[in-house]
Every structure is written in structure tokens, then in C-alpha cells.
Amino acid sequence: MSARMIAVLVLLALCSQALASDPSPLQDFCVAIKDTETPVFVNGKFCKNPNYTTADDFFFSGLDKPGNTSNPVGSKVTPVNVMQLPGLNTLGVSLVRIDYAPYGLNPPHTHPRATEVLVVLEGTLYVGFVTSNPENRLFTKVLNKGDVFVFPEGLIHFQFNVGHTNAVAFAGLSSQNPGTITIANAVFGSKPPIKDDVLAKAFQVDKKVIDYLQAQFWMDNN
């Protein structure tokens, strides 16, 4: 094998590493377990002993029920990730149901570990995401029942119900634990608060504006 070919192979190997989301499971499944009395160890994690694993470890019920959208943003995310469904452990995938009241908003947020693909079941959503610096290009679309949109991994995105009826969407995420950072909550609602000098300079506004924003209740719709 020529040095050049080896270099190409190494590059390909590195690329597939960089493109991977959650790691490959290495076994059929590794049901997450808290009780460490009867675990199997895989890659340093606890898996439930496969001999004691049942169908219920791969099962979740209740996504037919709408989330409660009576909150300031008018939306509610119901997650089904490894916290709710232990059988998802190591499998690199999860999902959410999102309910929107009329004019409800799933506010700008990012999933640090996952791409999200969303399908609208009911209603009309104005959705979008913004690319990274320096372009910060905004891509938007109005989605109706049956429409699908993808939010690339890590990018800030939102969904806004522009209809006067409730809206419902489901979304798949390419991580068992996608994480969510809601921008307003992280910036203005951190505990303890970020110094207002920092945010006044960052946002190029008076400190009073920052103090006002930091005094708000930043609701988490997850």
C-alpha cells in the first residue's frame, strides 16, 4: 500500500469519526441501569444484564397525550430519550412530541449533540435555523400537516405556530441524550446570572435593558 493510500484511509477513518453522532453500540443493546448490583460493563458504562432484560425496557407509552401548553411560550416538549426509555442507551437516537397552542413558540434553542428531523401532524408551523458565523444565514419554511424539516446538529432553531388552532409535531434526534440549550434561558436566566457588564457589551445595549431581561422568568418548555 502506498503512503498516499494510507493517508487517504487515515483521512477517511478520521472523517467517519468526525461525522459520527453517539458512538456505535458494539452490542445488540445496553439497557441503562442505575442498580449496579447486576450490571454488565460495556465501554465503562453499566448495562442491565441481558438475561434480565424485558420488552418493557424498550417500551414507552403516552405520546398520544398532548403536553400542557399553558405557559408563557405556549408550547410543550415531551421527550422520549434515554432518561424515559432506558433501552435507548448507546443507540444514538431519541424522539420528542411537541405541542403548540395557537401562536405558541418553541423558542430559539440548540441541541449540542443532535440533528433533529421534524414532522408536522397537525397545524401550521413557521420554522427556521441560523447557520454559524460569519454568515449567520437564516433558513425558514412554513410547514403544514405531513411536511418534514431538518435542523442540522448544533444550530439554533425554532418553531412558531402561525395558525389559530393547536399544532402537533414529532421529531427524531440523532442522540440518546441530545441536550437542549434555550438561548434566552442560558444567556439571561443562568444561575448565577452573567455579569450585566458582559451582556451589555455583548448585546450593545444599556445595562438597564440587561437587568430587565435578567429579571424575567425564563420558562423551560421541556
Ligand X SMILES: *[C@@H]1O[C@H](CO)[C@@H](O)[C@H](O)[C@H]1NC(C)=O
Q: Considering beta carbons, is residue 4 or 34 the nearer one to ligand X?
A: 34
Strand partners, 78: 97
Residues 75/109, Cβ–Cβ less than 8 Å: no
Q: Is 54 near ligand X (CB under 6 A)?
A: no
Q: Considering beta carbons, is residue 149 or 218 the nearer one to ligand X?
A: 218
The SS3 assignment for 83 reads coil
Q: Is the dihedral of CA 109, 113, 115, 117 positive or negative?
A: negative
DSSP 84-101: T-GGGTTS--EEEEEEE-
Q: Is 136 near ligand X (CB under 6 A)?
A: no
Q: Is 17 near ligand X (CB under 6 A)?
A: no
- Judged by CB under 6 A, which of 24, 51, 136, 204 binds ligand X? 51
Q: Is 27 near ligand X (CB under 6 A)?
A: no
Strand partners, 105: 160
Instruction: Give the Cα separation of 157 and 178 in Å (integer).
Output: 14
Q: Minimal distance in Å, beta carbon 38 to ligand X?
A: 7
- Amino acid at position 78, single letter: T
Q: Considering beta carbons, is residue 211 or 220 the nearer one to ligand X?
A: 220
Q: Minimal distance in Å, beta carbon 132 to ligand X?
A: 36
Site for ligand X in 63-102 (CB under 6 A): 68, 70
Instruction: Give the Cα separation of 58 and 14 in Å (integer).
Output: 32
Instruction: Give the Cα separation of 172 and 95 in Å (integer).
Output: 4
Q: Minimal distance in Å, beta carbon 64 to ligand X?
A: 15
Q: Minimal distance in Å, beta carbon 168 to ligand X?
A: 16
Q: Is 49 near ligand X (CB under 6 A)?
A: yes
Positions touching ligand X (CB under 6 A) are: 40, 49, 51, 68, 70
